[in-house]
Structure 1
Amino acid sequence: MNGAWRTAVAVFLVLSLLAGTVPSSRAWALDLEEEKELGRKMLQTVREHFRLIEDPEVAGYVQGIGKRVVRSVGPVHYDYAFFVIDHATPNAFAIPGGYVFVFRGLLELMDSEAELAAILSHELAHVQARHIHKQLEKGRMLSIAAIVGTLAGAFLGLDGKAAQALAVGSMAGARSLQLKYSRENEEEADRLGFQYLTSAGYDAHAMVTVMQKMRRMNWQSDSRVPSYLLTHPALGERVGYLEQLVEHGATGGSRAAFRDAVGDYPFIQAVLMSGHTDVDAAQNRFTGWLQDPARKAAALYGLGRLALQKGRLEEALAHLRQAAILKPASPLVLNSLGEAYQRLGRLEDAEKALRSALMIDDESPMVHLRLGLVYQDQNRWQEALQHLKRAEGLAPLNAELDYHLGVLYGRMQDLGPAHYHLGRYAMRRGDFQLVAFHLEKAQSYLPASDDRIKELARWLKEAKRTPRDARMQVLDGF
């Protein structure tokens, strides 16, 4: 991947776990359970070093675009989950088990939904082509720990000492394997990525535009996280190559793009500004945007979000209603409008706005979450559960969802699932004592053979093996 996507991908890795022996000439292979374990460990490492953005608007939006691209890939062996890391470096990567990460800095660089879809398409192409797997096979990785250390060093910018510490018991750490894509890798990922992107309904030219943006930027290598460009060289050459692919229609099909290239992307950038930058700076930026007709709707949306954060609900409602007039088909705007109505106690108006949003996009996890909370406020438990479970299916591994599901199950007096979800929430918040409490309670309501019990027990066991300083880092970060 050179060009335009900064990222990192890691994927269907293979290895043989032979206690203390060198793998034989037979093909390495992780079974699905081992691959999932590798993914879980890498996810844990990411959580220990970075904060994840769990704002339902941002997380749900990226998850939705990612799932749309995944459907264009064809058969896959696991469910992909998409996360946003709250870090200014422009980067993205995928790891075994179906976990895909996009950094906030990359979202701030792009200008359209199609460009985000282009990056995800290219990353998934590397995964499908098993490019990282082939490099790991050459590196003769002997353990999952060694692979975690290698991926952490390559994609998270951990220094050699830190990465090697992750590769416990192995001489093969991050320094022994340079995860860089070859020119052949990039060509294959380009062609596959073009197919995925156009099959998902986007204009393949977005791959060119996002790379051109990065080419114009003069990134400084002062971050601990490697940017996309550092692991994908020859940027100028790749811009020309991609332009030729677009010109000659190397997409595997001639279907015209049918999705709005920009989509709700300006609103996502407004969310990032309102929630992850200086509030006064965001206020001034949105006020300036009001003078630009192309950005006025996003400006009103951003001002509405800031007012919601400050508890100025009537002001928020006024801004969001104006934004909805300008952009009536935006699930993001309608979702925040529904939140404003809900917090004002106008539950019927909230339901109406959110149902309108679902008519536009029935696969929006953030809208299902908000509608579930509205139904919960109305004591319509089963309808609330239906939408919260739908949101969970669309955006798994979300701490906020686990919290709300735990509370809802508790109100419904279904205490086994209630303690399970609250236990998952506690784990993601780094509160291991609370995890132990909810595990004990869940065990009294659920059979010992229940997979949910096994999941909490496994997480707790892994947490106890985590060094104290790492546990404190989790607590501080979350």
Structure 2
Amino acid sequence: MPVRRETIKIFRMERGMGGPGAHPVQRMVCGCFGRANGYYGGMRSPFAIFPALLAAVLLVLVPAATARADLDLFGGKMTLRDENKMGHDFDQIIRAQQNMVGDTYVTDYVATVVARVVTGKRPMPFHVKSAVIANPLINAFAIPGGYIYIFTGLIQSVDTESQLAGVIAHELAHVSQRHVVSRIEKQKKISLLSTAGMLAGLLLGVAGGSGNAGQAGQALVLGSQGAATAAMLHYSQEDEREADHVGLNSLVKAGYNPEGMPGTFEIMLKNKWYDNSSSMPSYLSTHPGTEERITYLNDRIARMPKAFLERKDDNAKLRRVQVLIRARMSPANTALAYWDDKKTSEYTPMDYVGRGITLERLKRMDEAQAAFEKALSLAKDDPLVVREAGIFYFKTGQADRAVGLLQKAAIMDPDDAMALFYLSRLQAEAKQFAEAAKNMRKVNELVPEDWEVHHHLGMILGESGDAFGGNLHLAYASVYSMRLGKAREYLQRARDLAQTQEQKDRIKELEETIKARAEIGK
């Protein structure tokens, strides 16, 4: 059966963000892989995301109110299975709603730090899953089920890996000690609808800080459960002390310098005093008594063996990640001022890369190209330098130069999703559909739930004549951007084209995926 005309139109490859039919939600790949004018796509205001976040939490929790009258039906207790289900459902929606970073160089680094912290927390009741949110607030939060989210603002603000690990250790302690769940359980005489309001308010406050979103969270709690629950919006002093105690233990057991934990809190306080705007470190608004906790932590650390305090971090990869975040997420003029103020004698190859990315954002292309060429002259075999130069030449339409660099980057780092993504798009433009599909499938394996990767893979397969595969992946693109109506349209087209048993099995898998997403939103 021929591909329908509207599908063919969507299959048309275009340079830039997603082509026709691309969904307006700006997610992890949308900026890293597609849009040329920013690392994370069209970055929304930090507070523009919170109505969607509120809706996401309510979509996860409110449906339970219709199925269960109140928490007494749990016997007053939430099981680990309940926590996993709650966390999984929330994670699915937040990934569809938020600017999630999809650059595997960044996310793999964060996952490595998280995994190292977890080694100091065994046994951990959950399999911990990390994600990075493209947001300039100094923030991080974890939710039941072992899901932890790190904001790029936090990564950019720390001086050492131990400081980043300190926040991660503290947040995972809130999960392992079941602080949020314990508060839900204490409300066992309250309906789950009210509990949904409480948790939505809590997470809105975590993400929103002291500004409009934090106030909205407070109002939500007051409206749903009254003043008695307002105290549950923030972690209690007892919760914080336990999270500090347990987190510090895991930080030390993981081999980090314990001074990292109070060090991060001190950075947050410094930012608080110098920034009275609504974008102050929101972490402080939901984690009370920071100054007292710093004193407590320093007292504990003072009694530790001296060898613990002499531990040194290898911050090399952190610095490289920070270059990417500063260059692509900070306001372009602010980022350029950073590199203008730095002596060129102190530049690393990655500094030239960061400067080049920033100049490209400012449309100063000749200067940007000079910066990338300088970086290549200093580090022609650095996979990240080569990748970023290749992406620059892709965006500026210099395909011949781009393809060689991206091929080299992909050979040096076969798991670099961004290098493979841009290489695949160049190959598709050159009508090399077999190679393009192979590489985009690899990207899909690395970031399996990204809508734009599925979108481009669908376009490539459609261009190559694989109408079934094209419609299948366009359906997945719609699922992961939460456009379930459109997903069902592509599902039907793929179903009509399915002939082999393998294809029919893939249709069943897609049907189950759509059903699961629909269940979350009921």
Whole-angstrom distance in 1 between the partners of 2:112 and 2:189:
34
Residue 290 of structure 2 is aligned to residue 232 of structure 1: no
- For normalisation by structure 1, the TM-score amounts to 0.72
Other-structure match for 1:288: 341
Q: Is the Cα contact below 8 Å between 2:271 and 2:280 reproduced in 1?
A: no
Find 1:422's aligned residue among 467, 471, 474. Answer: 474
Whole-angstrom distance in 1 between the partners of 2:313 and 2:439:
31
SS at match of 1:28: coil
Other-structure match for 2:49: none
Residue 96 of structure 2 is aligned to residue 36 of structure 1: no
Q: Which range moved further: 186-195 or 16-25? A: 16-25
Give 1:119's aligned amino acid: V
Whole-angstrom distance in 2 between the partners of 1:149 and 1:25:
18
Other-structure match for 2:170: 122
Q: Is the Cα contact below 8 Å between 2:272 and 2:281 reproduced in 1?
A: no
SS at match of 1:120: helix
Q: Is the Cα contact below 8 Å between 2:222 and 2:230 reproduced in 1?
A: no
Deviation at 1:192, TM superposition (A): 3.9
Q: Is the Cα contact below 8 Å between 1:89 and 1:225 reproduced in 2?
A: yes
Q: Is the Cα contact below 8 Å between 2:162 and 2:256 reproduced in 1?
A: yes
The within-5 A match list for 1:114-263 is 114-140=162-188, 145-157=193-205, 158=213, 171=225, 175-176=229-230, 178-194=232-248, 196-197=250-251, 202-219=256-273, 223=278, 227-249=282-304, 260=314, 262-263=315-316
Per the alignment, do residues 344 and 42 of structure 1 end up closer, same or farther by CA in structure 2, a change over 3 Å counting? closer
Other-structure match for 1:454: 512
Other-structure match for 2:408: 352
Whole-angstrom distance in 2 between the partners of 1:64 and 1:213:
23
Whole-angstrom distance in 2 between the partners of 1:381 and 1:283:
35
Per the alignment, do residues 331 and 134 of structure 1 end up closer, same or farther by CA in structure 2, a change over 3 Å counting? farther
Whole-angstrom distance in 2 between the partners of 1:153 and 1:413:
49
Whole-angstrom distance in 2 between the partners of 1:76 and 1:368:
35
Percent of residue pairs identical: 24
Find 1:391's aligned residue among 431, 446, 460. Answer: 446
Please tell me whether Structure 1 or Structure 2 has the larger radius of gyration of its CA atoms.
2
- For normalisation by structure 2, the TM-score amounts to 0.67
Give 1:127's aligned amino acid: V
Whole-angstrom distance in 1 between the partners of 2:479 and 2:437:
26
Q: Is the Cα contact below 8 Å between 1:374 and 1:384 reproduced in 2?
A: no
Whole-angstrom distance in 1 between the partners of 2:486 and 2:326:
33
Deviations 1:436-459 (A, max 9, x none): 322333444454872332222443
Which structure: greater helix fraction? 2
SS at match of 1:264: helix
Other-structure match for 1:264: 317
Deviations 1:114-144 (A, max 9, x none): 4223222221122122222222211227666
SS at match of 2:138: coil
Aligned Cα RMSD in Å?
4.5
Provide structure 1 residue ranges, at least 5 long, that are not aligned to the other structure: 1-9, 466-478
Q: Is the Cα contact below 8 Å between 1:57 and 1:271 reproduced in 2?
A: no
Per the alignment, do residues 133 and 279 of structure 1 end up closer, same or farther by CA in structure 2, a change over 3 Å counting? same
Provide structure 2 residue ranges, at least 5 long, that are not aligned to the other structure: 1-56, 206-212
Whole-angstrom distance in 2 between the partners of 1:285 and 1:226:
21
Whole-angstrom distance in 2 between the partners of 1:329 and 1:67:
28
The within-5 A match list for 1:313-462 is 316=368, 318-323=370-375, 332-340=384-392, 344-346=399-401, 347-357=403-413, 365-366=417-418, 369=421, 379-380=434-435, 383-384=438-439, 387-392=442-447, 397-410=449-462, 418-429=470-481, 431=483, 433-444=485-496, 445=498, 447=504, 450-460=508-518
Q: Is the Cα contact below 8 Å between 2:237 and 2:289 reproduced in 1?
A: no
SS at match of 1:93: strand
Other-structure match for 1:100: 148
Q: How many residues align?
A: 438
Other-structure match for 2:157: 109
